Structure 1
Amino acid sequence: MRLTLATEPAYPDRPNEDFIGATPDAIVLLDGAGTPADLKSGCSHGVAWYSHTLGSTLLAGMTQSADSLTTTLAAGIKATASMHDFCCDLSHPGSPSATVVMLRRTADTLDWLVLADSVLVLDLLDADPMVICDEREALTGNRYRGPMNAAAGGSPEHLQALSRYMEAMRAHRNVDGGFWVASVDPLAAEQALTGTVPAALVRATAILSDGASRLVDRFGLATWRRALDLLDDSGPEELIRQVRLAEHSDPGGERWPRGKTFDDATAAYLVLP
């Protein structure tokens, strides 16, 4: 088994709110949901603390227990919430949150879990790549993206529209009819997409935060097949490098309207024996 991974913050002077961790049999990726500075969160620790703490808790749980990934995620959310329950306002709608991807090999199978908009891609031996992404956040966000997409990236108008967008999305987070992320409620784990696939049918897997997957699903500069080949030939660092080139070529978001001009980007690529 060959595993390569890379992660890079959106800006070198800001914390990386992504988390990536792996053991010989498990991989965990979290993408912390960063918020504009003018929106309060009720938490003194911040998004990077949350994603890194929950991520390491999940990785330990996956390797120390045979519980389902859903059960492990619920326990991890509960344990992480308990670490700052008495010093932070966990009832605040802006409490830190994160997307989650979990992948574990057990005997002859691969078990997977995806919550929110990070991406898992299974490179199947005799079929097209299987792309797994929870699209509920994107579908909800489409109602509010108009003003943000219309403003030039980085402009005062864009920053104001981004804040309004994030505030509007808070009302739909972890509620029926909205979208689900890891935050303070363990019941969110029950909303994750899950599945199992025979390991013998899978050539390789890719796990991507949306800052890395945007090369395909937002910029359209590669297909999933091309992205898998790029990861296999040149590694995750090259995929992220190509994302950065695209971002720098369109700083105002004229070609690719987006909330974040640059985003934390994380990619892991696992080749099965």
Structure 2
Amino acid sequence: MRLTLATEPAYPDRPNEDFIGATPDAVVLLDGAGTPADLESGCSHGVAWYSHTLGSTLLAGVTQSADSLTTILAAGIKATASMHDFCCDLSHPGSPSATVVMLRRSADTLDWLVLADSVLVLDILDADPMVICDEREALTGNRYRDPMNAATGGSPEHLLALSHYIEAMRAHRNVDGGFWVAAVDPLAAEQALTGTVPVDRVRAVAVLSDGASRLVDRFGLATWRQALDLLDHDGPAELIRQVREAERSDLDGSRWTRGKIFDDATAAYGRIT
């Protein structure tokens, strides 16, 4: 694959909780689940440390092992937990977590894994793009989102509603009937969406955190076809620039209701060669 990628934090003075890593035949993206300052997590390291540590572990695993992506993810979650279980409270419901997208090319196939709400888009030859996203978190969150959506974006009321939303969602994290993310329990890997497609059916791939995919799935300013064309012609940095432009045009969230007015945004685009 010929890969290009870009990542940008929501705010320049805050750590980027996304992780992106790639080799010529693999891509790994994680989007850390940010925790408001008024909520405890039980971890002294923080979300950025978690997503970057697990991401690096997964990239090494997907490069060095022929195991399934599910097996590699489970091993990565277990290994990362072991790096801080002696000094952090991993039983805390707010222990750091992250979405995961993994993509690996073998001789004639592409294997993929998606856990939680980051997005994988496959540009299939002679067909519409194949868009893969785990929607369980969004479906679970629908029952708690109204107070946050009703408040003016960025206001104290909005920030308080966001904290209440995240706290309510913790009760549904990594339990049957809820949603699944990478956190502490390696069994979460078994809940990931997985699949394999022949390489000769795919023109290109895009891997997006939800801060980058919002140009399409939140703002509706492009179709998936248009997003793929934008990535192909102008690259991931331009897609993120357009996301930022849209965010700045709606600072109170009146046009597009959302928990985060600005979000960490990461995009990778790979042409199959």
Same fold (TM over 0.5): yes
Q: Deviations over 1:155-188 (max 9, x none)?
A: 0100110000000000000000000000000000
Q: Which residue of 2 aligns with 1:206?
A: 206
In the TM superposition, 1:118-267 aligns within 5 A as 118-267=118-267
User: After TM superposition, which residue ranges in structure 1, 4 or more long, deviate above 2 angstroms?
Assistant: none
Distance in 1 of aligned mates of 2:126 and 2:249: 37
Q: Deviations over 1:67-101 (max 9, x none)?
A: 00000000000000000000000000000000000
| TM-score between both structures, scaled by the size of structure 1 | 1.00
| TM-score between both structures, scaled by the size of structure 2 | 1.00
1:266 counterpart SS class: strand
Distance in 2 of aligned mates of 1:244 and 1:36: 21
Letter in 1 for 2:248: H
In the TM superposition, 1:6-155 aligns within 5 A as 6-155=6-155
Q: Deviations over 1:175-218 (max 9, x none)?
A: 00000000000000000000000000000000000000000000
2:173 counterpart SS class: coil
Letter in 1 for 2:182: A
Distance in 2 of aligned mates of 1:208 and 1:65: 24
Distance in 1 of aligned mates of 2:200 and 2:179: 33
Q: Deviations over 1:99-125 (max 9, x none)?
A: 000000011000000000000000001
Distance in 1 of aligned mates of 2:206 and 2:188: 24
Aligned-residue sequence identity (percent) comes to 88
CA contact (8 A) 2:98 2:183 kept: yes
1:20 counterpart SS class: strand
Distance in 2 of aligned mates of 1:27 and 1:235: 16
Distance in 1 of aligned mates of 2:82 and 2:186: 11
Distance in 2 of aligned mates of 1:183 and 1:83: 13
Letter in 1 for 2:94: G
Q: Deviations over 1:25-56 (max 9, x none)?
A: 11000000001100000000000000000000
Q: CA deviation at 1:126?
A: 1.3
> What are the ranges of 5 or more consecutive residues in structure 2 without an aligned counterpart?
none
Letter in 2 for 1:202: V
> What are the ranges of 5 or more consecutive residues in structure 1 without an aligned counterpart?
none
Q: CA deviation at 1:24?
A: 1.1
1:56 counterpart SS class: helix
1:253 counterpart SS class: coil
Distance in 2 of aligned mates of 1:191 and 1:2: 30
CA contact (8 A) 2:31 2:99 kept: yes
Distance in 2 of aligned mates of 1:30 and 1:67: 20
1:102 counterpart SS class: strand
Distance in 2 of aligned mates of 1:82 and 1:205: 33
Distance in 1 of aligned mates of 2:191 and 2:168: 21
CA contact (8 A) 2:2 2:24 kept: no
Distance in 1 of aligned mates of 2:268 and 2:131: 15
1:246 counterpart SS class: helix
2:147 counterpart SS class: helix
